[in-house]
Amino acid sequence: MARWGLVIDLDRCTACQACVVACKHENNVPFSTPETSARGRLMTWIQLVGVEMPGGTTAMMPMMCQQCDRPPCTDVCPTSATYLNPEGIVAQIYPRCIGCRYCTNACPYAVKLFNWTAPEWPESMAPMRNPDVSIRPMGVVEKCTFCHHRLQQAREEARAAGRALAAEDYVPACVQTCPSDAMVFGDLDDPHSQVAGLAASTRAFRWMEDLGTRPKVVYLREGE
C-alpha cells in the first residue's frame, strides 16, 4: 500500500499562489471576506508563509496539512473525526466533527481551520462547485486532504480498466496546477519514485521535524 507524500522545491516555487486558487476551486473552499481575514479567520487550505532561512534569506513556503505520520491532532479528537488512514493521509470526517477545536490547538503547523461562517458563493459561481467534494457546514474543522476524492476516483477508474492503480493516476490539484513544476507527488515508500528520491536528497528538510511528527510534506532548500 502506498504512503503518499509531497515534495516542494523552494528554488522552483515563484509564490504565484496558483496552488492556493486550485485548492480552493477543487475542494469547494468558500471565499473569505476582507472582514473575515482581518479577524484572523481566513479560510484557505494552502497559504504562502514567509520563513527566514539559514543565511538570512526569506522563502515563501506553501504551507498545508503536513500529513504527519505521528499527527498530534488525531490524538486529541474526542470523536475520531480526524484520523490517519492506512495510506498516510490525515483524513477528516466532517459529520463526526463537533467543532471543539482540540485538533486545531494541537496542530503545531496551524493548518487546521475552523469555519466560523456558513459557506457562500456568488450565484454565478455556484455551478462551478466540485460535485465530488462535500460542502462543509458551519462549525466544523477543515484541512487539506491531498485531494483524497481524486484517489478514490483514480482507484475506481483503474478497477474498471482491470489494472492496478499507478502512482501517476493520482495527482492533487495543487500539484497538477503548479506552473513551475515545484511540486512532486507520489509514493514515499516506492524507492524508485521521483518523490522518494527527492525526499532523500541533501536539500530536503521537513518543517519543524524536531517535534517528532514525521511530516510527509518535504521541502527542498533554495540555492543548493
pLDDT tens digits, one per residue of 176-200: 999 999 999 999 999 999 999 999 9
Q: How many CB atoms lie within 10 A of CB 28?
A: 18
Count of domains forming the chain: 1
* The model's pTM: 0.91
Whats the size of the chain, residue-wise?
224
Please report, for the domain that includes residue 209, its CATH number.
Answer: 3.30.70.20
- DSSP three-state, residue 154: helix
pLDDT given at position 41: 86
- What pLDDT is attached to residue 224? 60
Q: According to the model, what pLDDT value does residue 78 have?
A: 96
pLDDT tens, position by position, 80-117: 999 999 999 999 999 999 999 999 999 999 999 999 98
What is the residue-averaged pLDDT of the chain?
92
pLDDT beneath 50, residues of the chain:
none
The range of the structural domain enclosing residue 155 comes to 4-220
